[in-house]
Amino acid sequence: AMSHGHSHGGGGCRCAAEREEPPEQRGLAYGLYLRIDLERLQCLNESREGSGRGVFKPWEERSDRSKFVESDADEELLFNIPFTGNVKLKGIIIMGEDDDSHPSEMRLYKNIPQMSFDDTEREPDQTFSLNRDLTGELEYATKISRFSNVYHLSIHISKNFGADTTKVFYIGLRGEWTELRRHEVTICNYEASANPADHRVHQVTPQTHFIS
């Protein structure tokens, strides 16, 4: 007969397994970093220029501690994240260090491009108190109704656990992505019509001139 303790323990594990997707699915779920316009991503108050971009990496690489961002003048960081389409944002992971530099509060704003620290005085769309997360396993669920049509996300790290500066190793974004069709169509039409028109003008002008 199976010992009760054993099956009970198994039940506990199974319970956790049901909550957790298998790693490869978890990685896919956190694929929104692929939909970030990294060239235009800004991180304000980063101590090393361009380091803020490095924390938006594949979920499988979240423990790569060579890529991180540390704040500069004080403990605040502000990420301005433009997407290459419309995003329905469902969850966020924030992974930090096992000390007081770990973020303790995160404030989210949607669709305010080029946000500055002055702009963070306005009411955020959602605020989270953060726990220390050293493994990148802890997800904060967004109010999906509020974040269902996001082309730009600002993440304001407003506080940490008491250190002078804040360190972030990984930010994971989970959700769905839709292409910005309209925008692409206009670009294509413009390019398609612009070039032939240019040629036509050059070719036609001399003839017209000659005839008249």
Residue 130: predicted pLDDT: 98
Query: What fold is seen in the domain 23-179?
Result: Jelly Rolls (2.60.120)
Supply the pTM of this predicted model. Answer: 0.75
DSSP 38-100: GGG-EEETBSSTTGGGGGS--GGGTT-TTS-EEBSSSS-EEEEEEEEEEEEEEEEEEE--SST
Which single residue is written with the structure tokens 């702009």?
119
DSSP for residue 114? T
Residue 9: predicted pLDDT: 38
Per-residue pLDDT of 183-207, as tens digits, reads: 554 444 444 444 444 444 444 444 4
Residue 7: predicted pLDDT: 37
